[in-house]
Amino acid sequence: VKSRKPASKLYRSERYAPYVFLAPTALLFLMIFLFPILFVVCSSFVNWNLLKPTAGISFVGFRNFENLLTSPKTWMAIQNTFVFSLVSVPLSMIFGMLLALAVDKLNRIRNSVEAALLIPMMVAPISIYLSFRFMFDPTYGIVNKLLSLIGLTGPGWFSSTDTAMMTVIIVELWRVIPFVYIVMYAALKTLPNDVFEAVRVDGANGVQTFWWITMPMLKPTLLVTAIIRLMDAIRAFDNIYVLTRGGPANATKTIQYLCYELAFGGFSIGKGSALAIIIVLIILITGMGLIRMMNRANTELV
Amino acid sequence: MIKGGIPNVKRVLCLVLTVLMALSMVSIPALADGGVSLRVLISSGSTEQVLREVAKDLEAEGIKLEIEAYDWNTYEGKQQLAATSKGGDYDVIFLPGNAVSTFANAGAIIDCSDVVAQVFPDQSDIYDSVKKFCMVDGKWYVSPYSAESMVYFYRTDLISKDELPKTIDEMHDLGVAKTKDDVYGLAIPGGPGEAACSFGSYFLWSYGGTYFNEKWEPELNTPEAVAGFEAFAKIEQDCAPKGVTTWQNEETVAAFQSGSLAAMICWPGYYAMLIDPAQSKVADKVGIATVPAGPAGARPRFGAWGLGITANCKDVEAAKKVLVAYTNEENMSKRLLPVVTTASKKINSSEGAESVNPAITASSGTLDLADERPAIPELNLYIPAVGAAVNAIIAGQPAQDTLNALNEEVRQIMEDGGYYD
């Protein structure tokens, strides 16, 4: 009979080795993803002010959600977020796409134009926002100074309730159009040439080619880009923080900014967590709709 | 090590643990010469320069200060985080008066009454308003060094001393009269959040309003509050540049420095920047006066600053030396007096004080009536709410409706805080 001792030791090592190697990743996953998610879900049901440790943590059930959903401020923030998203996302898609089509037709100066278009992507977003904040200052900014040179009185831009959201959207478009452009341009380059030659032979004009050939073939890419952009727009925070701080008169306060105010301004962890869950739900619902559309488009294309 | 195809797991784990332990040993801070190193959090500005000078003195005693100075917004964020974690990584924190009770109640700073007794042997020398905000349950939690209230800055080439407004109505009328030729008559920081709330408080109190009654019920939609905030909005709409609805202190000061404003209301701490020719186009034309009065008197916001020792401080005795070095009479008279209104009545009224710091008379002139927003743990929740509402009124929303909604919002905050149980 052969002694099994050395073999079993080796066997045991082999059996545990995969778990040992997986452990760091599993731990990382638990710490970075699962634990924070569970923590946020649990803390959304409690009343917990970090600046009031003596009051402790008390379970309040759905009261945080109830308070948030009955507060006009929350609905105003949701409305602002939707206006921001529903205007900035389609416009960025349209302009990005048009730019990609235009650059695709260029011959000589294409490289220079491409380089210029990518500049906004190379600049830190905070620098972009700060620059625009100074440029759009109604009294001292260069934009109104230029308008006055041609006899126009510039609006209040960020400082007027009528124009603040529009101005934030303008800045956002300047920042994100290059991203949409580069994705669309890359997608355009992958389209098969023979299809376009065939429709040209059939006598289709430029608009017809774009509408019936280019667009359907770009649809999956368009939808993926739209999903990314929409999620970015719903999570808008840094631009609002630097440009307007949610003002004037709450005109640009997005749901993410409100969440920041509650959780990191007021240290009301319960309410902040509840609002974070509401934001995730909004992103999930809108995202899932778009993903379903994308899957359908992929199936149609196949 | 690798025999038979797989590594010896135990050996690998032992090696990893040894490396981790070695790394953790290396990260323990220590000074080679046996002294102590303390981390200090401060809001950047002229008081930071004084701290750097004090730090040089302290090095001789073996105390090295690692000074972390930030602009107001960054400082405020770090300060608030420190309040939630026994002071965080800091040993000494510079705190405004309205944050002291929050820190003390959260157990983030320790009692430093012995330090204050040492630097202020006669505590009647300290302004009552400073005591109100720097003491909790009869104990000092910071050693105070400054006490100042908002002031009225004006351009001496555009507004003469005889023209200086005595009342808020006069201030409005003067602002309108001086708004011409690319110069705006008066601007007050009115951006959402802290700015609108902070400067709105001056109007609220000066018109006889208050934040809460004795039962902690908000009183932000009373006739006095409506009149006060409407007066603030009227001034901003009639006399200030359009962008004032987004302005915090820095933008307002920059506008004054550029020569675009005939007057502004702001903190006296900015005086040094306004008269610095390197930063200001109107350096030789800056006047300073007490803020005008409303129906209930001139009641601007009051600000006191002090140094506190955190609960996490690694060497309390060394930290106490820092507090003494910064807030002792000699340092306050020589280094702090030129840049702030000190917490000591004696130093402020000493001979030559006015020539060292011309802002002192205006700043300390309203200290008896000046007030501060209730320093409760819900401060950080109700300030953004009030700031947003006041900002909305400045932007043209109807005052009464906006304040009714605000009152309900603040009542909800207080209810969640357990004030009505």
pLDDT tens sequence across A190-216: 999 899 899 989 998 888 999 999 998
Question: What pLDDT is recorded for position A7?
Answer: 58
Q: Which residue of A has its CA nearest to B183?
A: A139
A230–chain B nearest CA distance, Å: 27
Q: Model confidence over A51-83: pLDDT tens digits?
A: 887 788 899 999 999 999 999 999 999 999 999
Q: Give mean pLDDT, residues B16-29.
A: 61
Which of A49, A63, A64, A264 best probes binding to B when mutated, by most B CB atoms within 10 angstroms? A49
ipTM of the complex as predicted: 0.78
Q: What is the pLDDT of residues B100-153, one digit of tens each?
A: 988 998 889 999 999 999 999 999 999 888 998 899 999 999 999 999 899 999
Q: Which pLDDT score is estimated for B418?
A: 87
By percentage, how much of chain B surpasses pLDDT 90? 69
Per-residue pLDDT for B416 more than 60? yes
pLDDT class for B11, splitting at 50, 70, 90?
A: confident
List all residues of chain B from 170 to 189 with a beta carbon under 8 Å from chain A: 184
Average pLDDT, chain A: 89
Q: What is the mean pLDDT of residues A233-254?
A: 92
B51, B326 contact by CB (below 8 A): yes
Condensed to tens digits (0 to 9), the pLDDT of residues A75-101 reads 999 999 999 999 999 999 999 999 999
**With an 8 Å Cβ cutoff, are A249 and B388 in contact?**
yes
- What is the rounded average pLDDT of the residues A22-49? 90
Average pLDDT over residues B6-23: 67
pLDDT of B326 strictly over 70: yes
pLDDT tens digits for range A111-144: 888 888 888 888 999 999 999 999 999 888 899 9
User: pLDDT grade, residue A288 (50/70/90)?
Assistant: confident
- Cα(A165)–Cα(A159) distance, rounded to whole angstroms? 10
Report pLDDT digits (tens) over A210-243. 999 999 899 889 989 999 999 999 989 999 999 9
The pLDDT tens digits of the residues spanning B40-83 come to: 999 988 899 999 999 999 999 999 999 999 988 789 889 988 98
Please state, in angstroms and rounded to a whole number, the distance separating the CA atoms of residues B190 and B252. 9
- pLDDT classification of B39: cutoffs 50, 70, 90: very high
Smallest Cα–Cα separation from B112: which of B349, B387, B320, B397?
B320
Residue numbers in A near B412 (CB within 8 A): 67, 71
For residue B260, give the nearest of B169, B159, B180 by alpha carbon.
B180
The pLDDT of residue A251 is above 50: yes
Instruction: Report d(CA B289, CA B19) in Å as an integer.
Output: 64
Is any Cβ of chain A less than 8 angstroms from the Cβ of B260?
A: yes
Test the B interface: residue of A159, A161, A167, A273 with most B CBs within 10 Å? A159
Q: What is the pLDDT of residue A225?
A: 93
What is the rounded average pLDDT of the residues B395-420? Answer: 93
- With CA atoms as reference, the chain B residue closest to A268 would be B381
Say what the pLDDT of residue A157 is.
93
Percent of chain A whose pLDDT exceeds 90: 55
Check residue B297 and give left, alpha or beta (phi > 0: left; psi -120 to 50: alpha): left
What integer pLDDT is reported at residue A234 of this predicted model? Answer: 92
pLDDT at A3 over 70: no
- Alpha helices for chain A (secondary structure H): 5-29, 35-43, 63-69, 72-105, 110-122, 125-135, 142-149, 164-190, 193-201, 206-209, 215-234, 238-243, 255-260, 269-301
What pLDDT sits at residue B30?
Answer: 46
Helix axes A142-149, A125-135, angle to 10 degrees: 40
A266 → closest Cβ in B6, B381, B388: B381
pLDDT at B28: 47
Rounded to 5°, the CA angle B138-B141-B143 comes to: 110
